Amino acid sequence: MLLERYLESLGAHAIAEALDLDAPRPALIRPTQDAKFGDFQINGAMPLAKELRKPPRELAQPIAAALTGIDAIERAEVAGPGFVNIHLSPAWVAERLTDALRDRDRDGVPAVEDVSKVIVDFSSPNIAKQMHVGHLRSTIIGDAIARILSFLGDDVVRDNHIGDWGTQFGLLIVGMREWGDEAALQADPIKELERVYKLASKRAGGEEDFAQRARDELAKLQASDPENLELWKHFVQVSRGSLDAVYAELDVSFDLWLGESAYHEALPGIVEDLLGKGIAREDEGAVCIFWSETDDAPKSLRKQKTPFIVRKKDGAFLYSTTDIATVQHRKRQLHADRALYVVDNRQSLHFKQLFAVMRLLDVDMELEHIGFGTVLGKDGKPLRTRDASGGVITLASLLEEAKERARQRIEEGIAEGRLRVLPEEIGEVARVVGIGAVKYADLRQNRLSDYQFDWDKMISFQGNAGPYLQYAYARCASIFAKGGLEMDAIAESASIRLDAPAEQTLGKHLLRFGDVVYQAGATSQPHLICEHIYELARAFNGFYAECPVLDADEPTRASRLGLTALSARQIRRGLGLVGIGVVDRM
């Protein structure tokens, strides 16, 4: 259930009843910051003080009285300047947890009532180039958001808007004819394409003839010349293999791969439309939208002197044009209600402009830029995408290093007798822990701020890091293994009760899960789920230290097994929602 939503409704009605108002008012329910204030507080009395001309505490008193006698609430009391503190009834909380324990499909989290069709546009690498660290955040943040929204019940379409139609293909076509090696292309496609691209781009810089040939080939490609089209398709196809390998490692998938090329034919029409409607005009040979001349543009854009260009003076189109065509397609063909663009903060101006154009075109769609900060090195400067010897640090090699570092720590742990991993499981555990550590280090932070990439912190495996959460899960699994019990069977039969303080603390954390997932979905902030799971793992570890499970007497034993099962499932589900896996032994 959604606890906060339920309490908000209780509180709103209590306010209306207690103060004799015709309609419910916002209860402004919030979790308390300190357990001594109870579990939740109603802040809604204070804003009413002015309107009703009474001191807030005098308003809070009858509200608290109106809440007594409700099953969920053990007691409600006035505190501070006019807060109403709510203490939940442990018995009621325990019943809700038992309900959640029975609900194996959704762990007690309801699905949304109004389903939206949401496009999540993320990752978006360029074809013919290696994915590097710069692609990491979009890929894993986008994946997490898509997972969260699908779990909540939205109709999510994951679209990889790959860069497969740029000027680089003219150079690649002439380059491959000159220096291409088909065997090398088959063996390691992107490596070969990059090698040739470098040669071609260098020669184009020095030789105008060569550069002209590249432009001619590009023009032929864009005019659907069969031979060039065939070559281009070949490049795209072999590149896909390398991309798929990285996505498989990250456990990331897509429903659509509609790259720039998919919209190529729509672009002239877009520009005609913009010109016809008087939104754009020609200037210095290019077709532009001038915000200073657009009355209903957002204020900050109107001060922008530089225009939004949709066609270059040489007649070629730009990514701005493609992006407009993409929104049109998503609206007209996919019937999407929303589109989320998981793209670096640095492109915020571009999206602000794009969204403003779509409003001028009367496209009724919720468009949102889900920005994120830069990945920094330990020195606080943007992480270098090249190593000391000048080679590109690819995403694939970074993930390899994560797995390797995890494997080392696991082997140390086994050698010291601290960890229990079967020899044949080491590879899989290193993968889950290593990749999970990289993802968690990123996702646990507010996506808007820059974040510091630090191997030592990530793989230190202490405190708030991915392995801590996975370890808590392994502890749960280990209890069932040791007891010779099936988690699912316990989930069917156990009744949860909350007696010991550590049980109550754990129980109250468990009950907040649904609220957290909803908020993470509504604000596109996966870190809220990470934070919750971390706090849950802490509460579970406290319970684990305090409360024996297998050695307890019935009915406490069954209840504690139920708490353990629900904790395990919530950790697994929560981590799963941000794309991180778990293992039973680590």
Partner RNA sequence: GGACUCAUAGCUCAAUUGGAUAGAGCACCGGCCUACGGAGCCGGGGGUUGGAGGUUCGAGUCCUCCUGAGUCCGCCA
Residues numbered 306-345 forming contacts with RNA, rule: CB under 7 A: 306-307, 309, 312-314, 316, 318-319, 322, 345
Residue 135 is a binding residue for RNA (CB under 7 A): no
Compute the distance between CA of residue 511 and CA of residue 97 in angstroms, rounded to an integer.
7
Q: Which stretch binds RNA (CB under 7 A): 9-17, 67-75, 214-222, 462-470?
A: 462-470
Half-sphere exposure of 582 (CA within 13 A, CB side): 24
E strands within 196-243? none
Q: At 304, which helix (H) or strand (E)?
A: none
Q: What's the CA dihedral at 552, 556, 562, 568 to 10 degrees?
A: -40
Answer yes or no: are the C-beta atoms of 318 and 260 closer than 8 Å: no
Quickly list DSSP for 343-392: --GGGHHHHHHHHHHHHHTT---EEEEE----EE-TTSSBPPSB-TTS-B
In the bound state with RNA, the residue whose beta carbon lies nearer, of 185 and 559, is 559
Question: What's the closest the beta carbon of residue 247 comes to RNA, in angstroms?
Answer: 19
x/- map, 513-552, RNA, by CB under 7 A: ------x---x-x-xx--x--x---x--xx-xxxxxxxx-
DSSP 3-state assignment of 350?
helix
Two tokens, residue 151: 């779990």
Tell me which residues in 551-570 interact with RNA (CB under 7 A).
551
Tell me which residues in 41-60 interact with RNA (CB under 7 A).
41, 43, 46-47, 49-50, 56
Query: Which one-letter amino acid corresponds to residue 95?
Result: E
Q: At 163, which helix (H) or strand (E)?
A: none
Roughly how many angstroms between the first and final C-alpha of the chain, as a whole number?
A: 32
Question: What's the closest the beta carbon of residue 471 comes to RNA, in angstroms?
Answer: 4
Tell me which residues in 370-429 interact with RNA (CB under 7 A).
374, 376, 380, 382, 406, 409-410, 413, 418-420
Tell me which residues in 136-175 interact with RNA (CB under 7 A).
163, 166-167
Phi (first) and psi of residue 249, to 5 degrees: -60, -40
In the bound state with RNA, the residue whose beta carbon lies nearer, of 262 and 474, is 474
One of 79, 360, 363, 396 touching RNA (CB under 7 A): 79
Positive or negative CA dihedral for 499, 503, 505, 511?
Answer: negative
Tell me which residues in 346-365 interact with RNA (CB under 7 A).
346-350
Q: At 65, which helix (H) or strand (E)?
A: helix 56-67
In the bound state with RNA, the residue whose beta carbon lies nearer, of 252 and 297, is 297
In the bound state with RNA, the residue whose beta carbon lies nearer, of 102 and 457, is 457
DSSP 3-state assignment of 346?
helix
One of 269, 391, 463, 555 touching RNA (CB under 7 A): 463
Q: Which stretch binds RNA (CB under 7 A): 134-142, 227-235, 271-279, 460-468?
A: 460-468
3-class SS string, 525-574: CCHHHHHHHHHHHHHHHHHHHHCCCCCCCCCHHHHHHHHHHHHHHHHHHH
Question: What's the closest the beta carbon of residue 69 comes to RNA, in angstroms?
Answer: 21
Residue 70 is a binding residue for RNA (CB under 7 A): no
Two tokens, residue 300: 């900050």
The helices-and-strands tally (H runs, E runs) of the chain is 23, 13
Residue 224 is a binding residue for RNA (CB under 7 A): no
x/- map, 225-264, RNA, by CB under 7 A: -----------------------------------x----
One of 9, 116, 201, 464 touching RNA (CB under 7 A): 464
CA angle 194, 197, 198 (to 5 degrees): 90
Question: What's the closest the beta carbon of residue 572 comes to RNA, in angstroms?
Answer: 14
Query: Which one-letter amino acid corresponds to residue 212?
Result: Q
One of 286, 340, 529, 566 touching RNA (CB under 7 A): 286
Tell me which residues in 470-489 interact with RNA (CB under 7 A).
471, 474-475, 477-479, 482
Question: What's the closest the beta carbon of residue 7 comes to RNA, in angstroms?
Answer: 11
In the bound state with RNA, the residue whose beta carbon lies nearer, of 238 and 433, is 433
Residue 305 is a binding residue for RNA (CB under 7 A): yes
One of 224, 446, 493, 495 touching RNA (CB under 7 A): 446
x/- map, 9-38, RNA, by CB under 7 A: -------------------x-xxxxx--xx
Question: What's the closest the beta carbon of residue 293 comes to RNA, in angstroms?
Answer: 11
Answer yes or no: are the C-beta atoms of 519 and 525 closer than 8 Å: yes
Alpha helices in 26-120 (DSSP H): 45-52, 56-67, 90-102
Residue 465 is a binding residue for RNA (CB under 7 A): yes
DSSP 3-state assignment of 410?
helix
Q: Say if residue 390 is exposed, middle or buried (CB neighbours under 10 Å; 0-12, 13-18, 19+).
A: exposed
